[in-house]
Amino acid sequence: MAPPDLRRPFKRASISDQQRRRDLSLQRQSQNRLHAQHQSRLAHTILSLTADQPVTESEPEFELEIEPEHEEQTPRDVQEAVKLRGPEARRWFAKQLMLPEWMIDVPERLNTDWYLLILTFHYISCFRYVFARPSGKRCFVVSSNGTTVSRLRNGSMLHRFPSALPNGARTKSSSRSGQSYCILDCIFHELDQTYYVIDLLSWAGMSLYECAAEFRFFWLNSKLVETGACNDPSTYHRYRFSTVLVYNCDHDGLKAAYTGSVPYVKDGLLFYNKYATRWFQALHAHYQPGNTPLVLVWKDENCSQYVVDTDGKGQVPDQQQVVLELLDDGRLATSDDPPVIFGCLNKDFIQQVR
């Protein structure tokens, strides 16, 4: 008697993985498709970011040029990037540093566009962290190959110095391995000559690009002290590093960040989106202010001295001077860090001026 189909497999299960091979193939194809579409999204976005490059879309070389551009932005290449020197390094870090800090200009938009209202609601509910931004020079600090370099927003070097960061000084204990490098997002606070670390991109060769803010802060707080980077300066550690107090973005946290005292001069509040990975911040770097606030900055006279200019003696002068920058698209921005957009000139006017 032949076995019923339903019961057959119990002892005579025959191993035939043909279907599994098909499924695995399908799985691979679908992953590759996701990856290809993802790359395409990324490339296109970067493309719109690098519009000032003299390339036109019809040129066949175009893709060749764009490819490495976006490669550079992806975390995979961070390891390569720390090896860069001179102008190349300047260029790469300049891109990385174009991280957005936005003014909240919610009220008008709230009224004008229902859709943005809903979006903004999502944004706000997504902000988890807030802290008082130290006043000073925003820079990247990279420790690798036994030395530490800080670079400003334009990519130019601020300091080259030994530090207690992993592989940040030529000491016996440093591993000297090219793999072991750190990239920190810092603000150099002149007054106490301290680097305040506001974010962490890589630590000892481990990329934190893909990690959510929560994890990056956790890692930063636990690792930075461990290395001795927060200690007072010494021969092999020229500048002190310090973390900032990060609060949960609720009523109390906001109040603490806004009014609480800190060892540095405050320059506004920084808000971090709870799911904002660095990778996404980089991606969003060139959007118009107010659209994709993965990181937001708030400034008013209570939490920043730079709302109004002061002279060398700390007096508010009679007249406020502002340096304005006319952007390519006709928008008018202050040359503050970050810039504040406050208007848009029409095309005719720009033509006339030029």
Partner 1 sequence: MLVLCVGKMALEITQYLLSAQSPEAKVRNDAETILGQFRDQNLPGFLLSLSVELSNEGKPTESRRLAGIVLKNSLDAKEATRKDQLVQQWVAIDISFKSQIKNSLLTTLGTFVAEASHTAAQVVAKIASIEIPRKEWPELVGLLLANMTQSDRPALLKQATLETLGYICEEISNEDLMQDEVNAVLTAVVQGMNITEQNPEVRLAATRALYNALNFARTNFENEMERNYIMKVVCDAALAKETEIRQAAFECLVSIASTYYEVLEPYMQRIFELTSNAVKGDEEAVALQAVEFWSSICDEELEIQDYEAPESGDSSALHSHFIQKALPTLVPLLLETLLKQDEDQDQNDGIWNLAMSGGTCLGLVANTVGDDIVPLAMPFIQTNISKTDWRSREAATYAFGSILEGPSIEKLSPMVNSGLDFLLNAMNDENSHVKDTTAWTLCRIFELLHSPATGFSVVTPANLQRILGVLLESMKDAPHVAEKVCGAIYFLAQGYEDAGPSTSLFTPYIPNILNSLIVTADRTDGSDSKLRSTSYETLNEVVRCSNLSETAQIIADLLPVIMSKLDQTLKLQVVSSDDREKQGDLQALLCGVLQVIIQKLSSEDKTKHVILHVADQLMLLFLRVFDCRSSTVHEESMLAIGALAYATGPEFGKYMPEFYKYLEMGLQNFAEYEVCAISVGVVGDICRALDDKILPYCDKIMELLLKDLSSGELHRSVKPAIFSAFGDIALAIGEQFEKYINYALPMMQSASEVCAQIDNSDEEMMDYGNQLRRSIFEAYSGLLQGFKNSKAQLMLPHAPHLLQFLELVAKDRPRDETVSKAAVAVLGDLADALGSNIKIMFKDCSNCTELLGECLQSDDEQLKETAAWTQGMIGRAFSVSG
Summarize as ranges the residues that interact with partner 1 (CB under 8 A): 1-4, 7-8, 10-18, 21-22, 24-26, 28-30, 32-33, 36-37, 40-41, 44-45, 47, 57, 113, 115-116, 118-119, 122-123, 126, 212, 273, 275-277, 279-280, 283-284, 287-288, 290-292, 294
The CA-atom distances, in angstroms, between 320 and each of 210, 311, 345 are 42, 10, 22
Shortest distance in whole angstroms from residue 159 CB to partner 1: 34
In the chain the first and final C-alpha atoms are separated, in Å, by 95
Residue 227: closest CA among 165, 168, 144: 165
CA dist list (Å): 345 to 163, 288, 342: 47, 16, 10
d(CA 291, CA 241): 33
Nearest alpha-carbon partner for 100 in 290, 249, 242: 290
**CB 74, min distance to partner 1, A:** 14
Measured from the CB of residue 4, what is the shortest distance to partner 1 in angstroms? 7
| Distance separating alpha carbons of residues 96 and 137, to the nearest angstrom | 15
- Least Å distance between CB 277 and partner 1? 7
110 vs 307, which CB is nearer to partner 1?
A: 110
Residue 29 or 53: the one with the smaller Cβ distance to partner 1 is 29
> Which is closer to partner 1, CB of 269 or CB of 276?
276
Distance from C-alpha of 352 to C-alpha of 331, rounded to nearest angstrom? 16
CB-nearer residue toward partner 1: 346 or 352: 346
Rounded to a whole number of angstroms, the minimum distance from the CB of residue 179 to partner 1 is 16
Instruction: Note whether 133 and 187 are within 8 A (CB).
Output: yes
Q: In the complex with partner 1, which residue's Cβ is closer, 38 or 91?
A: 38
Q: Which is nearer to partner 1, 150 or 273 (by Cβ)?
A: 273
Taking the complex as a whole, the smallest distance from the CB of residue 86 to partner 1 amounts, in Å, to 28
